[in-house]
Structure 1
Amino acid sequence: MTTRSVPIVDRVSDAFFALDTGFRFTYLNERAETLLKRSREDLIGRVMWDEFPQTVETQFPEGFHRAMDEQVSVSFEIYHTHLETWFEARAYPSESGLSVFMRDVTERKAQETTLAQHAAVVEAVHDAVVTLDRNREIVTVNGATETILGADRTELVGEHVETLTELAGIDGESAVDIGRAITDVDVGNADRSQLEVAYVGPEGDARMAEFRFVPIEDNTATVAAVIRDITDRYEYDRVVTSLHEITRWLLESDDPEEICAIAVHAGSDLLDLPISGVWLLEEERGYLEPVAGTAGAHDEFGGLPRFNPGEGLVWDVFEAGEVQLFDDLGTIDNLYNPDTPLESEIIAPIGTHGILMTGSLDPYRFDETDIDLISTLVENTRAALDRADREQVLRDRTAELERQTDRLESIADVLSSDLKDQLETVADALEEETTDEWEFPLAEDTVETTLDRAERLVDDIREFARNASTVGTRTRLDLEAAIEDAISDSQLEMDSVVVVDGSATLRADPDRFGHLLETAFDSAAARAKGDVTIQIGLVGFDDGGSRGFFLLDDAAEIPPTAHDRVLDPTADDETAIDGLGLALVRAIAKAHDWECSVTNGDNGGTRIEIRDVTTLERTRE
């Protein structure tokens, strides 16, 4: 190297040093002194490998020997551990040795490492990431873009962004919005921009995406577009909004069965739950009764079962009061139907009203999103059923007030006519007695009978006045025991006979039911004018009709033309021989949701039938 070249290499920004054919330093510029942290005086004439022995195990010897032996230029990057520096080395051979240029690229390598890490992150994320230059041409595309849009990334790079919007099936108006958002971010009008856009997925299905645009600092790209598929979230929001709309329909109904039908079909149509049903608690008998089901449920099972207390998972969940998911029914014990075709199911209590159950023929069909949506549906259904209950209570109270008004009017009619008749009978009997001793043997029985009837009439009126058409808490009663208690409190003569054919139990208000039997017995006693035989038996168990019981007496029969009138508290003709008696029996029966009728026996007498006693159960044959 000539001395005239020294000033030139001293002025270059790279470190430069020269080696002779024996790899001895012949020259170093100032930048090389700084980079190697040694002065020229220390290194000139010395062998590089001796002065920097740590380089022997690096690419320096291999690269420099190759350049010298083959007389070709070489370049490589190397990390100098001792100096903690990355170097880019370029060696140019000549007959006299090597000219070596070295550049500190530590900062660049750090940037490249960071960029590589960022690129790895971008490549790993599930969102599509596309970078654009100022001409709106695509610079980079990550792998998720291919998954979301179904496009080959190699076909997108270098293309205008319109290629992407066309490929995704984005409509013209939305494409314009995307272009405007990119411009706003690129020119600094906005720090970021976000849009929700409908697009067509790789399978040709309609989907929703969220486009976010942010500025970036890159040698070529200026804007990054992050595209996230939000179809599931969008659908979830749509379903939740629809569920709130359905809540309005639920609250407009006051019929529990209609409310449950709306809930079931909402689950089927909105939540894609084709095998679903709702069961409501039948409070009187204590079981869960199916009231609504999807067509899929009926197709699969041919009808929904009734669940008695303690049967299957349904009762466990209902009593626990919390929604439960069963991913794999094949691993669950205590199934109501071990042969069920269902593989997974969700059971959701509707407050204390009942449960909603939905199932699938596949295991692990449901997830937390399904649980959230079903929970929302059953909560809205519970609110609607609560409202329906309140409305029913209000209607019942209104109807009861109307019945009380009618009843008071009826009582007034009875008091004004029947008591008047009884007092006139007493007066007539007294007028027939002319002796001074106040003895009237002919009238005595008439007066006593009349006063007894007046007393019974007052008792009946008192019972009506205290609201015979309502009942208190129902408990399970033994029919024979209730009959025995009623006999002892009735007007039956000592020699009267009551024959009970068949033992049974039923649920009823003990006081009201006892008064029903007592009043029926008093009616027979009043018509018998003495001893009477009463047969009591069960009906509906053998003939397939509604369950109940009958009372057949051998007293004077009530004429067929008067059967309806004796059940009417306003009746004031000769058929009302026992005051409000049978009308009171009918009122108490109706309060229990039973039906009461009066007919004649095959061999005479009067037969009172109480039907629709759904809780009646035989205790022995």
Structure 2
Amino acid sequence: MSTDPTIRVLHVDDASGFTDVVSEFLVREDSRIRVRTAESAEEGLTRLEETDFDCVVSDYEMPGKNGLQFLHDVRETHSDMPFILFTAKGSEEIASDAISAGVTDYLRKEGGSGQYTLLAHRIANAVSQYRSKREIETSQKRLSLFFERSPLGAIEWNDDFEVIRINETGEEILGYDEAELVGSSWRRLVPESEQDAVAKVLSELDSTAAVNDSEYETVTKGGERLVCEWHHRVVRNDHGDAVTTFSKFQDVTDRVERRRQLARERAFTEQALDTLDDLFYVLDADGDLQRWNERLARETGFADEELLDRDVLEFFAEDHRQRVTEAIETTIDTGTATVEADVLTADRGRVSYELTGQRLVDPDGDFLGLAGIGRDLSDRKARERELEFARDLLDKTEQIADVGGWQIDTTTNEVYWSDHLFEMIGIEGEEEPPLEDALDVYVDADRPIVEQAIEDAIAAGDSFDVEARFQRSDDEIRWFRILGEPVFDDGDVVQLRGAVQDVTDRKRHEHDLERAREEYEQLFNGMNDTGWVVDLDGRFLAVNDTAVERTGYSREELLSMGSSDIDAHLDDDDIATLIDELSEDETQVLETVHRTKRGEEIPVELSSTMITYDGEPAILTIGRDITERKERERRLEQFASTVSHDLRNPLSVAEGHVELARDDCESDHLDGIAEAHERMETLIEELLTLAREGNTIGSTETVDLGTFVTDCWEDLDTAEGSLENETSRRIAADGSRLKQLVENLVRNAIEHAGTTVTVTVGDLEDGFFIEDDGDGIPEDRRDDVFRPGYSTAEGGTGFGLSIVKEIADAHGWEVRVTEGSAGGARFEFTGVEPAD
């Protein structure tokens, strides 16, 4: 590979004077750079055919083809050559288009010689990366021999872990030909159940280690699941940069299956023994413990390392040890024996156990030891105590849960009520009323509901769950939820049992929710903006009247559609992405275009928020028609484009010539020209600010106004001035636009009151003020100061205060000029939203 350090650059720009300036500055910045120029894309293509270049630098706006069209033609013959777009027409849209088209770098033309230093650095970096890439390609060829001769399966991946190639061994293991796998994601080879784990392994490859070994299921072409052992390796160059990623693998299914079978058998045995409620143990011929389950360890209170080879007699009461010894001897002689003995437990003292032993022999009949099971004989009494406790607990639970129990004998119609049910109904007494009287607690309108539920349960043997109002003895009306369950005897319903729950509070809450829903629907349908609710799949759940009117679809039609059906710019995938990105505590704002049923397209601004709708997560979206705003923005962008290209290009040429002239001669006239250039640059910047940003703001943030103003002051040349900061207010504002506002007011104070000016910032009831101690603004001129172009200061552009008003309007603030406390100009901002 060539080691020539020369960097050959083709610079294409229709401004020939500008290209000469650029060429001279680039050579000054980097002696390796050699520049040839062309004044159009066509001439540039001819140069590329005649001469080898390392990099192309191109303007955007040129006669014939523009810079992006030129890039497209260059890529047809020079797919990897660095291409830098160096243009005065700077906008997010052009930058986005340039990146999408594959531009290497994007650089705006600015005032001053610093831009050429930056351009030289960008060119050098781009060419260095281009040459490094070629070196990597050579290295990859050397890796191929190692790849193909590997005795294991081998796969090479790209940066997205998609197959680049696979060797023959890998094809044999997986059953695929290489052509079938190239371009496939690793997920094609991994079952879905293991993809999360494998994704974690692959994501950590570059950050943790160069090599990673793992074992997971791999899917063949025929759908067979093999267990493969994978070895992933990141190959790096001498600089430590990743060149490519290889994976070697082999089928270890049989080995893993044998291992799994042994593990399953062992785990089954261990779990089966440990889940026993009984004691389990294995003794040798001397009665020493060789194996046990968790229950024995818990009961005796010994750790596992203390139990091995311990004499089993230590676990029994001293007066029962002889009978245990005899049972062991009998088991060894006859094969089995049973004995009752008290075990000395760690927590419960002496506990009576029934112990049954079984002799263990090998296939040849030789004695191995004996196994035993111990069953706790105190369980029966414990169950009786637990039953009594459960009855008492049930009574207390009824009171705590505010649930009453009932029972009906279907033969005699006798009724049983729990004590708490008496309390709930408000009836004092110990005897339950007969069924007919018991039903009288329900209001006349709801009593048939309960009667019918009881009759149906008896007739069909079904459970029931109904709600009805009842009247307490103190005449208060409340709601009951009544649940019933049949009890059968030989297929007949002999009893009904159930519970009663007071749901009055819930019913009232449901009523309040329904009323709130009606009020919400009135508000929703009364909006001037379109509004709708969509589910997490983007399907309409509800739409307001304005949405019906604006789109031209009926409500029924909209409710059968989804968001993408009326959106001219966003498809289902786009909308799904937006829904995934929307969090519960944010409002998502975006611009798009809606298409009506008649085919008309309306630009809209959508504000979306996550809500709960009918108990499920959903999204509320409000759409505002921004047709007039988009037309205004189009006109402003057209104006800004003209200013940017038609003024900045010749200004850059002029500034460059001044820089070159200073090297050739000394003249006071050059300082005057440079000052004029600086004023022109300021004028262009403020015109572009008014045109492009205007009265719009981005997202707002919480701003500590006092700290913010101090930071702005320190960023400006205010060495002889002073700042009096008297504000403690925290406001919600767009930080970048607020910085413009503060800095413009400080500059205005310096321009009109001098460099020793004192600027004061303080609080108002619903806002803040910024004032100076200069001569102030006459009352008859205060309405003019915000007019674009109006200025009384020598060298002033007349746009600084216009921008201040635009920023205030964008935030929804009111701004006015009045006299300050020291007689200077005072700017008051009101209607300022405080921070949360």
- Please classify the TM superposition score into its range, dividing by the shorter chain length: 0.3 to 0.5
The higher relative CO (CA closer than 8 Å, separation ≥ 6) is in 1
